[in-house]
Amino acid sequence: MRTSRIAVTAAAVVAGLSLSAYGGDDSPVNAGSASSSSSSTPAEGQTESAPAEQPEGGAGSPDEEAPDQGSAGQGSAGTGTKPERCHTDDLTITASDATIGGDETKTVAVTLLNKSGRECSIKGFAGVNLLSSEGAIPAARRDQKDDGTVLKSGEPTYFGIFYKANESGGSGVRIKGLVVTPPDEKKSVTLEWPGEPSLPVTDSPDPSVEIGPMGSVGQGQG
């Protein structure tokens, strides 16, 4: 009986040792799988942080493209920006009679030619005064719109001066010259008057001289 109990006890000890040995081997395995699991977690984290890689085609792409878009925007802004306005010294200004047939309202066309060697922009109304025996006669602006014009070097634009000729038979108001100031400029040029020699003397509240904006040389009231 004692031998049998010893044998059982020995068997139990051996089983215990073998279980213990198995558990010891298992611990490293578990540890290994734990470490493998934790190492795969970063890997998953990198995959999830792949949005950090998305910069190549996703979130980062706009950041990378932003400078290009910005420079493109500046480039197009630079291209779309109108050049500097035309100054008086940039222009050759001349005047000529432009009356057609027996039109009751007479017309003088003023030409402004860009001689600057660069593009320049011009918009609005010139300042116009007729020099007369009665003093300066300012021209009134017609109710017309002007969207502005960019003149290339060597390119002209025009505007019209409209007035009533003196048909009274008297001397009327004699015209001695024409003063033109380009839009937004202070420097003027004085030209010979190419139109009728005199304007009628009138007390009418209507202006005796009118001008159109840049780019228009309509005849009469057109």
SS (H, E, C) 96-118: EECCCCCCCEEEEEEEEEECCCC
Structure tokens that stand for 207 in this block: 């202006």
Strand duo 140-141 + 209-211: pairing: parallel
Quick one: pLDDT band at residue 100, thresholds 50, 70, 90?
Answer: confident
Contact 199, 137 (CB under 8 A): yes
For domain 88-211, the CATH architecture is Sandwich (2.60)
Structure tokens that stand for 92 in this block: 């050759």
Q: What is the pLDDT of residues 28-47, one digit of tens each?
A: 444 444 433 444 444 444 43
pTM: 0.61
Res. 154: pLDDT tops 60 = yes
Q: What is the spatial distance between Cα 113 and Cα 110, in angstroms, rounded to a whole number? A: 10
The burial class, CB within 10 Å (0-12 / 13-18 / 19+), for 71 is exposed
The burial class, CB within 10 Å (0-12 / 13-18 / 19+), for 114 is buried
Contact 141, 147 (CB under 8 A): no
Contact 131, 176 (CB under 8 A): yes
- Percent of the chain having pLDDT more than 70? 59
Rg of the chain, C-alpha, whole Å? 46
Structure tokens that stand for 221 in this block: 């009231």
Residues pairing with 201 in the sheet:
none
